[in-house]
Amino acid sequence: MICKLAVDSVLVRVFAHTKIVRNGSTSASYVVVGAGSAGCVLASRLTESGTESVLLLEAGPRDTLLGSKRLAWKVHMPAALTYNLGDRRYNWYYHTTPQRAMDDRRLYWPRGRVWGGSSSLNAMVFVRGHPEDYDRWDREGAAGWSYSSCLPYFRRSETHSLGGDEYRGRDGPLRVTRVHDDHPLHLAFLEAGSQAGYPFTPDMNGFQQEGFGWMDTSVHRGQRWSAACAYLHPSLSRPNITALNGTLATRVLFDGTRAVGVEYERNGNIERVYADKEVILSGGAINSPQLLLLSGVGDEKHLKSLDIPVVTHRPGVGQNLQDHLEIYVQQACTQPITLYRAQKPLRMLAIGMEWMLKFTGQGSSAHLHTGGFIRSAAGVPHPDIQFHFLPSQVIDHGRTASTAEAYQVHVGPMRPTSRGWIKLNSRDPREHPVIEANYLATKQDVREMRQCVKMSREVFAQPAFDHFRGLEIVPGPEVKSDAEIDAAVRALADSAYHPSCTCKMGDPKDPTAVVDPETRVIGIEGLRVVDASIMPSVVSGNLNAPTIMLAEKAADIIRGLAPLPPCHVPVYSPPSLETQR
């Protein structure tokens, strides 16, 4: 089944079901900025009834070929994901400031700039996080966002290939697939986890996150199933939705402290659109705080330093930045069974042709089929380390070709204690903001990254890998002591692409909160933020599934609908919690 694409007449429709107001400008019920994972959900859900209109603005291109309804293969072929990570056409191509605790390296942060946002760039790993993450949100001031309140929206969002149950969805827009791959290295990884003493989990997104197991993916019948495929494209035939690309939002328009519209640049022209009800920012953890700051919502001192008129003083805008840091532990493989040969030019051509003709073969998968969640120490209440296993070698975000038959784990801590921030470089909306990730700023984060390397080596040393294990490539066999491991982490670790929490949701009385539990910007009328930036704290896993859930739940809030009934389900607790990791 090919991702449902609208016909050309719909794609080129301009402002259908909108009103012309104010010197020829347009208006819609809702103006949504950003067609990423959250924005696509909102555009679809807010127009379901047919009574409200949405204008969706996206700075990047469509996820289809220019002037066509055909798929853009770089986006929709799962195995081509590394092309997106290095392609400025689909990517904001951000970098952090020099990281003091990481040898002053400027880390690369690819973020989606295309219909589907980062769900059109990511590795399609579909992980919800741990139930305790959402109960923590509730305790941190996001009342109504506990696990039992969020689970119904996880279920509503998805159709799972294994069918629905009390944890999984059965009839949602998002296609979620569990792949049981018979590749010997995936099987060895699962067996090695068992040999190292860790449990097997039949469903990381269900009763038991902890353990090693098969991962869910947002792939359907050989194609990436992004938020654009799931939500946006099926909605474009509605007369009350208009999705524009190539529109860079430059500021939110205010009448006093009420948001009334958005100013944006398109084809070199500055234009305005007005919202009859609300403006909703869904640009993500970097773009949403940047746009708030450009619009005069943020720390008063910072705004005045750039001569930006202050609409309201919200010092939390851009603060509380959290991300997952990870390192690739790579092992040479003694047998020619990795993806190394698949990356040779002629073989890549054959793989690409098979995918384009039938959506099958090695091009139909990102090959991240197994992983694990474990606790780093006794007494840790739920898993704080995540593994992604790959039967291949990745170098520099895939921008450099593999050099050997090898396999690897991407491994990193799930709940870092370091906090960063985002600020403006200037008043120019085209200029990237300052991204201070502040990685490894605490001793705990340094210790946990060190533990990640040690535990990865422990898994790779198990008998299950005896038939495949060559020399360690990264960090390398010469890296042995704690000091040497710490030095390797500083030199080699990279972002797991999970920036979040920069417009924190919390109690309106909390001076560091940016939005309330209804997703409304505190101190402002008619303005919401709905994306990963409003997470109070980063979840223990990948961010695409939680972001889609968040937008599903927010859509009901915005529409004034009663929340879905809470789902109270059992959650695994390890029997050896206090005695073993």
Provide CB contacts within 8 A for 362, sequence distance 6+: 79, 339, 342, 351
Provide CB contacts within 8 A for 353, sequence distance 6+: none
Q: Which two tokens stand for residue 82?
A: 């590394």
- Which residue's structure tokens are 């953890």? 285
How far, in Å, CA of 307 to CA of 297, rounded? 13
Position 135, amino acid: D
- Burial grade of 256 (CB within 10 A; 0-12, 13-18, 19 or more): exposed
* CA distance to 126, 214, 226, 445, per residue, from 205 (Å): 9, 11, 19, 25
How far, in Å, CA of 103 to CA of 122, rounded? 27
How far, in Å, CA of 104 to CA of 440, rounded? 12
* CA distance to 204, 343, 403, 430, per residue, from 469 (Å): 27, 21, 16, 48
**CA nearest neighbour of 321 among 295, 291, 289:** 289
Provide CB contacts within 8 A for 272, sequence distance 6+: 22, 25, 253, 261, 262, 263, 264
Q: Of residues 130, 186, 324, 498, which has the active-site annotation?
A: 498
Position 182, amino acid: D
How far, in Å, CA of 297 to CA of 259, rounded? 11
How far the first Cα of the chain sits from its last, in Å, is 43
Task: Please give the distance of CA 355 from its chain centroid, rounded to a whole number.
Answer: 25
Phi, psi (rounded to 5 degrees) for 436: -105, 95
Strand-pairing partners, residue 33, are: 57, 281
CA atoms within 13 A on the CB side of 187: 8
How far, in Å, CA of 351 to CA of 348, rounded? 5
Cis peptide before 475 (omega within 30 of 0): yes
* CA distance to 60, 122, 143, 147, 542, per residue, from 502 (Å): 22, 20, 18, 21, 17
**CA nearest neighbour of 511 among 228, 203, 300:** 300
Specify whether 220 is catalytic: no
Q: For residues 366 and 403, is the Cβ–Cβ distance under 8 A? A: no
Q: Which two tokens stand for residue 401?
A: 């070709």
Task: Please give the distance of CA 17 from its chain centroid, rounded to a whole number.
Answer: 31
Q: Which residues are catalytic?
A: 498
